[in-house]
Copies of this chain bind each other. A is one copy, B any other.
Amino acid sequence: MSRVNPAPYDVHRLRELAGEIIVNVRELSAAGWTPATSSNFSRRLDQAHAAITVSGRDKGQLTEDDIMVVDFDGRAVGSTHQPSAEALLHTQLYRRFDEIGCVLHTHSRTQTVASRLFAGEGRVHLAGYELLKALAGNTTHEAAIDLPVLPNTQDMPALAARVESLLDAQCVWGYLIDGHGLYTWGRDMAQARRHLEAFEFLLGCELELRKLR
């Protein structure tokens, strides 16, 4: 990957985005989707920087000090905080798609259970739900969606490379990592949250139906 030089960023924009992240992540935390300080969240700051949660913080109690800036290689900019190794999974999306402004990585029980259950198949096939229309670009419930499931690893560059292959091969709105959780994204916070809620709902329905059929 080529190195983007760190550029000065707009500090007013950073504060705005930090505030937005704090408010939204507290809501996701209250829903139980960020257990035990897991999960991370980011917003595009400009063409070379993203604002992202500092690793290991309690997501139900975020303050401005828990938000840091990284470049698109996932390296800290103007901060002594160590960004999460997973920052790379956020920034690869900002680097690749100009239209992505927000990346959400959560860790609900439904997401984790689904990731383990469908890891063997490498995907969750979602069909027959009206709520598929909540995924940007879908206008009918008749579409079927594959949500990919990637093997878990602590080797982030390897994982990022797998995600790149995925993005080369198909249009995706998110992916699961086995035993881990969900990555999803959108143009802005509202759209990314809509995608997150849609995937959480659809995965929850799939698990319930599997118990019932």
Contact = CB atoms under 8 A, between A and B. Distances in A.
Nearest to A135: B36
A190 interface: yes
A212 B210 CA distance: 7
Q: How many copies does the complex hold?
A: 4
Question: Looking at chain A's contact residues, is the secondary structure mostly helix, strand, loop, or mixed?
Answer: helix
Interface string A193-213: 011011011001101111111
Given A154-B140, A209-B117, A212-B207, A36 B131 contact: yes
Interface stretch (A46-54, A94-102, A176-184): A176-184
Interface of A: 35-38, 58, 107, 109, 112-113, 116-117, 128-131, 134, 140-142, 152, 154, 177-181, 190, 194-195, 197-198, 200-201, 204-205, 207-213
